[in-house]
Structure 1
């Protein structure tokens, strides 16, 4: 990890840069695969599964017998944990249900919105270096609460052509309708265009590697909506000299083990605290099973010493972290001043792991600075709002002349005439 002391503001952008990769050749590869899926459907999916996931499948769909088998392979302890996490996610997202209100803007003119679920949604669940069954809950639970009629899930199979048992158990618990053994770009293409086996969906959700992210962005240009642009995972920790350095080190490493392109950042005003955290990171890193992954992620990571609290707040809002952990004594005061972050974790007893799994908030969040403009996944992500208006005779008499004046001044006389005829 690189230690940076008292950087000048005009250097912040460079210091806060995320790991970058040349994606030009990647996009060409992804476009070719997507075109094949669009033109040849299932046949192309089978071929790419054999090429990339190294498995020759007989069927893309997960059968009921496979779901039943998975149920027996998941321990009672994990089943209980998944059910508790699901209940908390359900409780939090249910609180976001939209309430319709009719508003009379002018006497005789009534306007309102209706919340309607997106009928068909696709969920992509990575299954490579870590089977993210928690992401199944984060996406399928709000989709079901929203009222999505068809919830389609794709995840890459192992060499035996099976999905991880916990992914299947979580999918069953969360109410997924259809599950497919498809990974990578071919999964995104199958859900975006539809094949004989895989239904076409209207919006695709879920994290993935650079190829998956590129595929999502390409299909979103004209074929299907996506949850958000996303990149490698990241966390920023704000701490002071009173914070437990072992907690901070653990928080940084919990994010670093996600992938080699993850990024972790510590911001503090205490140089002595940075030394303590650095020592703790080395101690804890040595014991991690995913040590090699975390070590590479730490090469992209920084310990930043700043002059005062205001600089910390300003640099945080500039970085717009996916995850922000505030472990200072006055964490609530700092939190009030944060305007750009995906999800915020407050106090020494609130690790990011809580939001990743079971506290109830969603862990599908904007990365790469997109938190300046995007929200994380929530109930609204699975719905659309349709506006309605009803105008009575009294209403058109009250509002009509206003519309006529505006239409005439925009030189849209047919617009004006549509009102004039009614006024007469």
Structure 2
């Protein structure tokens, strides 16, 4: 069962905490080598490599990589009405929340006739990845596609692994979600090969390179995104899921156990962490985990995740120490279940998404909160954000000066260009006044 880490009698600094954080010891260098081989194969042999990778890694050879629009339409028509209604409501909520992320153009006037205009332009084309290993993720279709559409992206391609039970096609629920969003460029390809195909293109199947790749995946997908960064943009390296719960003695142990299990069911290397200043709560949660984990549908997977070195119950001296531990961890999902969650929130600086109070579980964010569930993992929330409309936007500065405004700064430009030993910079300005 889950390990206990007792930090009550020590006061580690942030560097020390980084060493104490429970993390899986996945060898990223090995994943990088594997991902590079798969990407290189796609670059060299295109469609043939994608077909071979699907056969070897997904257990099925697709009849075709690109899905016909008719198949997407059939999937929409066959979708369970209750699931369709839930997807449509998720689309509505994520759309509203994503629209709030759109920045407003700003004109800064530095003087008469001197303007710098800040505008935000969407990238032209994106590749969105939807995992398809241990679960089916129509919600990830929504989370990827909606902010791209809200941002104004004009060309959207979507990839998800070929499914053996559907003769090598993409899972029909994934296809239906894409269809409901008006996305008709869908490919049955997965893993690092799909990332490589997005980055470099595959002309034989009509797949043009994209400008940004987004979406969660396993360690090989994360490694692949790191490898193609620079050729194309990426959101973040969203790998195996994480949940960290900060709780005090007032929290409900049964609900915390349920939340930890909800994320542990994703994957055997999923991380489930409770940080508390209450030994009594820690014990109650540990007891509840035994019952909840044993009775859940994916009991074996959950048991392995909870017993892994990446999961733990961490005892700390107080809630300030709990917040410090969380900040050092930088969790993908952070729940705060304390008597005064707002006070703890004020101490938090790094997390992908934050859920306040016992009625805001991570599962809400996974589906219908309106927030996005594509979030940075592995501590990347220290410098990365979750997916949003801003992911697909580029700020551009437009400089607009008239002649008198340029004349006002002319001598200063010449002075600076001379100081930098780049006199032609100054000459480019003075040339505009050679007739005066």
Provide TM-score, normalisation by structure 1: 0.96
Q: Following superposition of structure 1 onto structure 2, how do residues 13-24 of structure 1 map, counting pairs within 5 Å?
A: 13-24=18-29
Q: State the alpha-carbon separation in 2 of the partners of residues 268 and 24 from structure 1.
A: 34
**Aligned residues of 1:101 and 1:113 also touching (Cα < 8 A):** yes
Q: Unaligned regions of 5+ residues in structure 1, if any?
A: none
1:233 to 213, 238, 241: 241
2:280 maps to which residue? 272
Relative to structure 1, the CA distance from residue 7 to residue 179 in structure 2 (aligned partners, 3 Å threshold; closer, same or farther) is farther
2:187 alignment counterpart: 180
Please name the residue that 2:325 is paired with.
Answer: 315
Q: Partner residue of 2:177?
A: 170
Rounded Cα–Cα distance in structure 1 between residues aligned with 2:29 and 2:382: 25
- Cα distance in 2 for partners of 1:278, 1:210 equals 29
The residue that corresponds to 2:210 in the other structure is 201
RMSD: 1.4
Determine helix, strand or coil for the equivalent of 1:59.
Answer: coil
1:7, 1:255 → 2: CA distance?
30
**8 Å contact kept, 1:121–1:152:** yes
Matching residue within 147, 153, 160 for 2:152: 147
1:158-184 alpha-carbon deviations (Å, 9 max, x no partner): 111222222111111223240011111
Q: CA deviation at 1:7?
A: 5.5
Distance 2:198 2:424 in 1: 42
For the pair 1:38 / 2:43, whether they are aligned, the reply is: yes
Q: Quick one: which of 343, 349, 353 aligns to 1:339?
A: 349
For 1:88 and 1:324, locate their aligned partners in 2 and report how far apart those are by CA, in whole Å: 21
Query: 1:396-415 counterparts in 2 under 5 A?
Result: 396-415=406-425
Equivalent-residue separation in structure 2 for 1:42 and 1:411 (angstroms): 52
- Looking at structure 2, the residues matched to 57 and 167 of structure 1 have their Cα atoms a distance apart, in angstroms, of 16
* Equivalent residue, structure 1, for 2:141: 136
1:253 equivalent in structure 2? 261
TM-score, structure 2 normalization: 0.94
Q: After the TM superposition, which parts of structure 1 deviate over 4 Å for at least 4 consecutive aligned residues? A: none
User: 1:271 offset after TM fit, Å?
Assistant: 0.5
Matched, 1:78 2:111: no
Alpha-carbon distance, 1:423 to partner: 3.8
What secondary structure does 1:388 align onto? strand
Moved more, 156-165 or 5-14: 5-14
Decide whether aligned partners of structure 1 residues 7 and 388 sit closer, same or farther in structure 2, where only a CA change above 3 A counts: farther
Distance 2:9 2:241 in 1: 24
The alpha-carbon deviation at position 106 of structure 1 amounts to 2.8
Unmatched 5+ residue regions in structure 2? none
